[in-house]
């Protein structure tokens, strides 16, 4: 199979967690890949494994999705070297801190809004014209259960993920009749580096989030991305809310404390 015969998936935030698992899932199906994240060294070390799994071509790029000019340059490189992505997975994102509004300093608010909202808007804008021209294409956003229910200490993170739904709704209307599909996949708790980032690198605090119950694994969400990406062209999954069996909403988790010996 030549490198231009297999479909192309572009995955943002592929250096860890859901993004990395998604890259592996597409690689196993023989898709070409364009990957970005700020930690390019991680993408470079992941690349041989992705080739081994079956991806015929893997482009990696160090990118901060908040960098508007950087996103434009990345998109130009992808379009020139690999063509238009069949699927754009806007996965890069983060929660930072658990500040309540009344004592928030505000820096983290900006980081979340710029990453979780502006980032996916810049990426989507960069590839929509090529998708429109081809009359096909798919944009899959990684949202969150936080976009469905707010929780104390999560105001801005929840707002960004609720915003993802509104952006999807607008995009579905803006691209209606153009053969373009737009979806969001909204996980509950997934055991990734997410909580470590949220707690500014505090591994112990982060690990407590996933204690005494089985959270989702990154692979579970990658499976969903692949499912959504491989439906026939006339099928669009608008939204998929995916929870661990032991979690009912952002704060209600059925934990089973370890037995004391």
Ligand X SMILES: NC(=O)c1ccc[n+]([C@@H]2O[C@H](COP(=O)([O-])OP(=O)(O)OC[C@H]3O[C@@H](n4cnc5c(N)ncnc54)[C@H](OP(=O)(O)O)[C@@H]3O)[C@@H](O)[C@H]2O)c1
Residues forming the site for ligand X (CB under 6 A): 12-19, 37-39, 63-66, 91-94, 115, 142, 144, 187, 189-190, 192-194, 197
CB of 163 to ligand X, least distance (A): 12
Q: Which CB sits closer to ligand X, 6 or 27? A: 27
CB of 123 to ligand X, least distance (A): 10
CB of 100 to ligand X, least distance (A): 20
Q: Which CB sits closer to ligand X, 75 or 190? A: 190
| Whole-number Å distance between alpha carbons of 29 and 19 | 16
CB of 176 to ligand X, least distance (A): 26
Q: Which CB sits closer to ligand X, 6 or 155? A: 155
Q: Which CB sits closer to ligand X, 82 or 91? A: 91
CB of 244 to ligand X, least distance (A): 9
Q: Which CB sits closer to ligand X, 132 or 196? A: 196
Three-point CA angle 1, 132, 166, nearest 5°: 110
By the 10 Å C-beta count (0-12 exposed, 13-18 middle, 19+ buried), 204 is classed as: exposed
**DSSP secondary structure string for all residues of 231-254:** S-TT----EEEE--TTBSSSS-B-
Directed axis angle between helix 120-134 and helix 68-81, to 10°? 30
Give yes or no for a contact between 140 and 87, defined as CB atoms under 8 angstroms apart: yes
Could you tell me what percentage of the chain is helix, strand and coil, using 3-state DSSP and rounding each to the nearest 5? 45, 15, 40
**DSSP secondary structure string for all residues of 121-149:** HHHHHHHHHHHHHHT-EEEEEE--GGGTS
> How many residues belong to the chain?
261
Of 122, 151, 157, 210, the active-site residue reads 157
- Active site includes 157? yes
Quote the DSSP letter at residue 189. Answer: -
Q: Strand pairing of 239-242 and 180-187?
A: parallel
**Edge-to-edge strand order for the sheet containing 137-142?**
58-62, 32-37, 8-12, 87-90, 137-142, 180-187, 239-242
Q: Which CB sits closer to ligand X, 66 or 181? A: 66
CB of 92 to ligand X, least distance (A): 4
Element of type H or E holding 46 = helix 40-53
User: Which residues are catalytic, by number?
Assistant: 157
């Amino acid at each position: 199979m030549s490198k231009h015969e297999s479909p192309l998936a572009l995955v943002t935030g592929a250096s860890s967690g859901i993004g990395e698992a998604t890259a592996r899932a597409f690689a196993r199906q023989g898709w070409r890949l364009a990957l970005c994240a700020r930690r390019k060294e991680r993408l470079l070390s992941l690349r041989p494994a992705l080739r081994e799994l079956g991806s015929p071509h893997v482009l990696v790029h160090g990118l901060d999705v908040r960098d508007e000019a950087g996103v434009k340059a990345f998109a130009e490189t992808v379009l020139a070297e690999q063509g238009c992505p069949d699927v754009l997975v806007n996965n890069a994102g983060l929660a930072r801190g658990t500040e309540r509004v009344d004592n928030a300093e505000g820096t983290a608010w900006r980081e979340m809004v710029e990453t979780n909202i502006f980032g996916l808007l810049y990426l989507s804008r960069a590839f929509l014209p090529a998708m429109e021209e081809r009359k096909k294409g798919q944009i899959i956003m990684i949202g969150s259960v936080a976009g469905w229910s707010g929780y104390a200490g999560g105001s801005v993170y929840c707002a960004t993920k609720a915003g993802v739904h509104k952006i999807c709704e607008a995009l579905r209307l803006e691209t209606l009749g153009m053969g373009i599909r737009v979806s969001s996949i909204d996980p509950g708790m997934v055991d990734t580096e997410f909580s470590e980032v949220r707690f500014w690198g505090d591994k112990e605090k982060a690990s407590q989030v996933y204690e005494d119950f089985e959270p989702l694994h990154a692979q579970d969400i990658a499976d969903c991305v692949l499912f959504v990406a491989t439906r026939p062209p006339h099928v669009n999954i608008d939204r998929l809310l995916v929870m661990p069996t032991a979690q009912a909403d952002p704060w209600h988790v059925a934990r089973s404390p370890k037995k004391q010996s």
